[in-house]
A and B are shown apart, each in its own frame.
Chain A
Amino acid sequence: MARVLIKNLVKRFGKIIAVNNLNLEVKDGEFLVILGPSGCGKTTTLRCIAGLETPDEGEIWIGETLVNDLPPKDRDIAMVFQTYALYPHMTVYDNLAFPLKMRKIPKQEIDVKVKKVAQMLGIRELLDRKPMQLSGGQQQRVALGSAIVREPKLFLMDEPLSNIDAKLRVYMRAEIKKLQKDLGVTTIYVTHDQIEAMAIADRIAVMNKGSLQQVSSPDELYDNPATSFVAGFIGSPPMNLIDCSLIEKDGKLFLDAGEFTINISDLRDILETTRMGSEIVLGIRPEDIIILQRGFKGKEDFNANIYTIEPLGLETIVTVKKGNKLLRIRAPRDFRANINEEVGVLLNKQKIYLFDAKTGKRLYI
Chain B
Amino acid sequence: MKKLVLSQMIVRNLLDRIAHIMQRILLHVFLMAFGFVMLMPFLWMVTTSLKPRELVRSAPHLIPTHFHWQNYVIALNAAPFGKYYLNTIIVVLGIVISQLLLSSLAGYAFARLRFPGKNIIFLILLSTMMMPYYITLIPSYLIIRTLGLVNTHLGLILPFLVSAFGIFLFRQYYIGFPKDLEDKALIDGCSRLQIWLYIYLPLSKPCLAALGTFAFLFAWNSFLWPLVITTDPDMWTIQLGLAMFSGKYGTEWTYLMAGTTISVIPAIALFMIFQKYYIKHLALSARLR
Contacts and interface: CB of A to CB of B under 8 A. Distances in A.
| A and B found bound together | yes
Interface in A115-152: 146, 150
B188 interface: yes
A135 B187 CA distance: 24
Interface in A152-172: none
Given A81-B183, A83-B178, A99 B189 contact: yes
Contact of B203 (A77, A88, A98): A88
B186 interface: yes
Contacts, number: 53
Main secondary structure of the interface of B (DSSP, over half): helix
Contact of A50 (B187, B198, B202): B187
Contacts of A50: 183, 187
A98 B202 contact: no
Contacts of A103: 189
Interface in B167-185: 178, 180-181, 183-184
A102 B183 contact: no
Given A83-B180, A87-B181, A73 B187 contact: yes
Interface in A72-96: 72-73, 77-79, 81-83, 85, 87-89
Interface residues of B, number: 15
A16 B181 CA distance: 26
Contact of A52 (B183, B190, B199): B183
Contacts of B186: 51-52, 71-73
Given A88-B203, A89-B202, A89-B203, A99 B188 contact: yes
B189 A79 contact: no
Given A89-B202, A89-B203, A81 B189 contact: no
Nearest to B184: A85
A102 B186 CA distance: 10
Contacts of A102: 188-190, 194
A79 B184 CA distance: 7
Nearest to A89: B202
B203 A81 contact: no
B189 A73 contact: yes
Contacts of A78: 187
Contacts of A52: 183, 186-187
Given A71-B186, A73-B187, A102-B190, A85 B203 contact: no
Nearest to A83: B180
B180 A72 contact: no
A87 B199 contact: yes
Nearest to A87: B199
A72 B183 CA distance: 9
Nearest to A47: B183
B178 A77 contact: no
A77 B202 contact: no
Interface string B20-39: 00000000000000000000
A87 B180 CA distance: 10
Interface in B184-208: 184, 186-190, 194, 198-199, 202-203
A79 B203 contact: no
B186 to A, nearest CB: 5
B178 A85 contact: yes
A79 B183 contact: yes
A77 B186 CA distance: 11
A81 B202 CA distance: 22
A42 B188 CA distance: 22
Central interface residue in B181, B184, B190, B199, by most chain A CB within 10 Å? B184
A146 B189 CA distance: 12
Given A85-B180, A85-B183, A99-B189, 17 more contacts: A50-B187, A51-B187, A52-B183, A52-B187, A72-B186, A73-B187, A73-B188, A77-B187, A79-B183, A79-B184, A81-B184, A82-B180, A83-B180, A85-B184, A87-B199, A98-B198, A102-B189
30 contacts: A50-B183, A51-B186, A51-B187, A52-B187, A71-B186, A72-B183, A72-B186, A72-B187, A73-B186, A73-B189, A73-B190, A77-B187, A78-B187, A79-B187, A81-B180, A81-B183, A82-B180, A83-B178, A85-B178, A85-B180, A85-B183, A87-B181, A87-B184, A87-B199, A89-B202, A89-B203, A99-B187, A99-B189, A102-B190, A103-B189
